[in-house]
Amino acid sequence: MVQDDYLWDPLRKKSVRNTPEEAVRQWFISVLHEGMKVPEHMMGSEVSFRHGAKDYRADILVYDRAARPLMLVECKRPEVTLDQTVVDQALRYCNELEVKYIAVTNGLKTFLFQRTGEGWEFMQTAPSWEEML
C-alpha cells in the first residue's frame, strides 16, 4: 500500500484507510477543530454505542466539558444525497445519545440542527464549541 491509501486520524491517533467517507470524516474533524474551535480531546471518531438491542457507530461525537455527548456528526460519501433518510438515521442515534446538536455532511453539503424542546431546528451558521456549551 502506498501512503496515499491512508489518512491520519488525529482523534484515533492512527492511520486509517482513505475511503471517500473517511476523507469526509477527516475533513469535518478539521472543520470542527479549526472552524468551530472544538478541542481535539473533546471529540471522538467512530464511537460505538448501543441503541436498543443494536450496536451502532457514530462517525464523530463532540463532547461537552463533562464528557457528555454534545453533537453527533453523520458523514456520508460525497455522492450520497443528504435526504430525509440520512437525517432520520442521525435522529435515531440522537434519541439514544441525547445530544443538543446534529450535523450531517457529505463533504459537499452540510446541514446543522439544534435541539429545541422535543424537535430540531435547522441552523444557518455553525456555532463555536463555546456557544454550543
Output the pTM of the full model: 0.90
- Tens-level pLDDT at each residue, the chain (133 residues): 445 799 999 999 999 999 999 999 999 999 999 999 999 999 999 998 876 777 888 999 999 999 999 999 999 999 999 999 988 888 877 777 889 999 999 999 999 999 998 889 999 999 999 999 9
Query: Considering just the CA atoms, what is the radius of gyration of the chain in Å?
Result: 14
Alpha-carbon distance of 31 to 46, in angstroms, equals: 17
Tell me the C-alpha to C-alpha distance, in Å, between residue 56 and each of 6, 89, 121, 132: 24, 11, 24, 24
Alpha-carbon distance of 127 to 21, in angstroms, equals: 24
- The fold of the 19-132 domain, in CATH, is tt1808, chain A (3.90.1570)
